[in-house]
Amino acid sequence: MGSPPTVIIGAGPTGLSAAYHLGEDALLIEQHDRVGGWCRSIVDKGFTFDYAGHIMFSNDPYVHEMYRLLLGDNVHWQEREAWVYSKEVFTRYPFQGSLYGLPPEVIKECIIGAIESRFGPLDEQPDADVRAPRAAPQANGHAGDVRAPRAAPQALNGDAKDAEIEDCCADGTADVFGTDAPAGRASGDTCAPTTASLEPRNFEEFIYRVWGAGIAKHFAVPYNRKLWAVPLSEMETSWLGGRVPLPNLEEIIEGALSPKPKPMGPNARFGYPLRGGFQALMDGFLPHLKGELHLNTRVAAVSPSRHELTLDDGATVRYGHLISTMPLPVLVRLMGDEAPEEVRRAAAGLRYTSVRCVNIGVGREKLTDKHWIYYPEDTIFHRIFVQGNASPYCNPPGGFGLTCEITYGPLKPLPCEGEDLIKRCIDDCIRVGLIRPDDPIWTANEVDMPYAYVIYDHTRRERVETIRSWLLEQGIVLAGRYSEWEYYNSDHAFIAGKQAAEKVRALQAAQPAALSERVVGMS
Ligand SMILES: Cc1cc2nc3c(=O)[nH]c(=O)nc-3n(C[C@H](O)[C@H](O)[C@H](O)COP(=O)(O)OP(=O)(O)OC[C@H]3O[C@@H](n4cnc5c(N)ncnc54)[C@H](O)[C@@H]3O)c2cc1C
């Protein structure tokens, strides 16, 4: 009688990486008919679309090793063209470094706001012979109360510059990160130390402190509200690194006086599979998996006390160790009464934002040379991922693919769905000049991502800790974005899967005899 396998729930990038690193010992269970999780792609009338735009980006040599293993030479690296569309003009992303071309009063508000966020209100400066008028009360009602306090002297005397700007997930959630930022984010010693007086109480305050009232008003607040679909004051800032970077005034002023050149260098490059969409990166694991993979198999119940899973067809699977990559609230729900009341309550309160993608296949080539565009204003979508430029092989001859991303949640339900939503997206694409009214639409479809963004609200940390510590007692290893309930990208998923495999190896080494009696396999 052999020992029961290590079961991994979910064949997204985390589960695939865990299975790859565990080798023959792994039994990987996936509800869908393909591997990849949110890193899958679909093909519709010759157009390849991802589940929301996905790019490859990492500074980690191990991740690049994985990219080489999984894709070989089926890879396409290019320098990103990330843009913002507002006030009827395109400006380069990040917004604050590329104000050139915006209306003069917008540029003025942005620069004054950035100066005030760093030095305090201009009309309180003793030697100021040229006084800027106080910025007008903000449309969002935040005039005054969230103005940057005078920064502590040590923060101003230091070498603080803007933190490295990396749009690594290309979702534009925020573009300045500190040293403790989630894996994959930029790090460096470019942030001012957090002091009591500087510490923002929530994400909205963070934005005002970091960028100032003008940039907050014209981009950061409306864009992030649209994306997160919750009031930004309900979010904390630990995911941003816990430090408060100061604005780089030189960069802001330079970017306002002349057009920003195309970003170059390793941090501006992103990768994408040449053929096969993002899916190709996931499928790259398949020849390297040594254990079993069960597709079309949904885990319907989890019993930590019996070390047993029940599948949707009623079969049961015993596990020696369990790695879960499924969303944390779902895992706890599948445990029913075995999970203590306190854990169930904590899981039920975890908040997340969902994404609905509307994919449009247009019958005209090369609609734009941009890779993705942020829309902070009144379009239904917050971002368009220009799927047609991710790789030339994403389009059929003569066609060009776009993915409109729309977030929703309890506080911001989708205004419509299906054909109505598709029409709304096409109309908005025409309104912002991306599609012409007479362009033929060869195909359009919708893709839903119920768990898309983990919301870092003020209760998240405590809730996750309550759940995590109980699951640890049950010997269950949590791995990946939705199981660890962290803001991770697929590059970190590779690392999270590897770490989960290492944890299991350590547990196996610590308790080899205890579990070897169990019966293996499905019944
Ligand atoms: C809008 C958006 C844009 C993104 N852009 C990027 C990007 O540009 N670059 C990047 O690197 N990352 C990006 N990401 C992040 C990336 O998608 C995730 O980090 C990654 O998919 C997480 O992988 P995972 O394996 O942990 O989870 P998932 O991808 O969610 O995989 C979990 C798997 O578990 C399976 N599962 C769940 N429940 C069950 C069950 N009961 N039984 C069996 N199987 C189950 C699911 O079907 C799924 O296959 C983006 C994410 C979003 C939402």
Per-residue pLDDT of the chain (523 residues; tens, 9 = 90+): 467 899 999 999 999 999 999 999 899 999 999 999 999 999 999 999 999 999 999 999 999 999 999 999 999 999 999 999 999 999 999 999 999 999 999 999 999 999 999 999 988 766 545 443 343 333 333 333 333 333 333 333 223 333 344 555 567 665 543 323 333 333 333 344 344 456 899 999 999 999 999 999 999 999 999 999 999 999 999 998 766 677 789 999 999 999 999 988 878 999 999 999 999 999 999 999 999 999 999 999 999 999 999 999 999 999 999 999 999 999 999 999 999 999 999 999 999 999 999 999 999 999 999 999 999 999 999 999 999 999 999 999 999 999 999 999 999 999 999 999 999 999 999 999 999 999 999 999 999 999 999 999 999 999 999 999 999 999 999 999 999 999 999 999 999 999 999 999 999 998 754 444 443 344 4
The three-point CA angle 167-349-460 to 5° equals: 45
Any atom of ligand 1 within 6 Å of the Cβ of 302: no
Locate 308 and state its tokens: 């047993």
CB distance 490 to ligand 1 below 6 Å: yes
Counting ligand 1 atoms within 8 A of each CB, the residue from 31, 38, 40 with the most, and so the one to mutate, is 38
CB contact set of 387 (below 8 Å; sequence gap of 6+): 47, 48, 49, 50, 53, 359, 394, 401, 402, 403
418 alpha carbon – ligand 1 mean position (Å): 23
The domains found in the chain, sorted by start residue, are 6-35+285-350+458-510 (3.50.50.60), 39-59+69-81+262-274+353-454 (3.90.660.20), 94-258 (no CATH)
CA of 484 to the centre of ligand 1 (A): 12
12 lines ligand 1 (CB under 6 A): yes
Nearest-CA residue for atom 53 of ligand 1 = 452
Ligand 1 atom 4 nearest Cα = 54
Report whether 406 contacts 356 (CB < 8 A).
yes
Q: Closest residue (by CA) to atom 14 of ligand 1?
A: 489
Q: Are 384 and 434 in contact (CB under 8 A)?
A: yes
Q: What's the CA-to-centroid distance between 101 and ligand 1, angstroms?
A: 37
3-state SS, residue 318 = strand
